[in-house]
Amino acid sequence: MMRLGTGAFVVANNSIYLVVALVLATLLWTGGMPVPAAKAFSVSPTHIELLSAGRAGRSQIVVRNTNAAPLPIEVSVDKFKLDENGRRRNVNAGDDFLVFPAQALIPAGGTQVFRLQWVGEPMLAESQSYIVNISQIPVRVPKGNSGLQVAVSFGALVNVAPPRSQAHLDLVATDIVTDQSGRRFPMVTVQNPSHKHALFTRSTLRLAGDGWDLTVPPSELEQRVGIGLVQPGSRRKFVLPFPIPKNARRIRASLAFDPRRR
């Protein structure tokens, strides 16, 4: 069988496999969520924070089969970089992680624990980010038969930070963007000057302008924006889903970032 990329149709033995990828990337990663529609399995957690040295360099992902049939699963790891608009570019993950087991057949209604162990450089120069892909393996259909199968894939975000590192985040620009219907929204640009990744949603954000004032706590930022990963030495732009009143022609913003927030 030929395996193609995310969201691809794969044709093999006169069968069509629809590969549905539910990658919880930085604009989308919002925490544990079940697979919609297919409801083949659930994954927890979908966001993991590790250190590159010591016991904090290992974790686990639990997969629950909510189907009435056995579920074949395989696990792979991708390393990635983000640009300032949150677009992801995968790079070679090498042998940074040991995953056990790499494949499993989960019985109907059963669970499987996949263990992750960091085996890369123990004294990283800066944080690294990965997606652990938990993918359903399409079942081969007997030759001569045809049909449609839905193969679901989850992506769990894993950040690996150097030991004794401290994240920092600065707000460097504020702007207003307008959507197709004419509604205006604030956009902020943040910069991480540190060697450790920062999470934008560990911030309290204040927006104000022309009589309009709004304070957004970390919990609401995470609900509206997602995790908001800002990698070391990089910038990210975030358009915030809070409509700006028509009378507010300019806005100001301030950011209180606390890396200890959870």
Q: What is residue 79's predicted lDDT score, i.e. its pLDDT?
A: 95
Name the average pLDDT for the chain: 84
pLDDT tens for 71-110 read 999 999 999 999 999 999 998 888 999 999 999 999 999 9
Sequence spans of domains, the chain: 9-161, 170-257
The closest of 188, 126, 182, 189 to 159, measured between CA atoms, is 126
Q: Quick check: 130 pLDDT over 90? A: yes
Q: Quick check: 12 pLDDT over 70? A: no
Q: What is residue 204's predicted lDDT score, i.e. its pLDDT?
A: 96
Give residue 142's pLDDT band: very low, low, confident or very high (50, 70, 90).
low
The closest of 78, 74, 84, 112 to 97, measured between CA atoms, is 78
Place of tokens 């004419």: 182
For domain 9-161, give its CATH number from 1.10.1610.10, 3.40.630.10, 2.60.40.10, 3.60.15.10. 2.60.40.10
According to DSSP, the residues that pair with 199 across neighbouring strands are 229
One fold for 9-161 and 170-257: yes
For domain 170-257, give its CATH number from 1.25.40, 3.30.530, 2.60.40, 1.10.3470. 2.60.40
pLDDT tens for 194-218 read 999 999 999 999 999 888 999 999 9
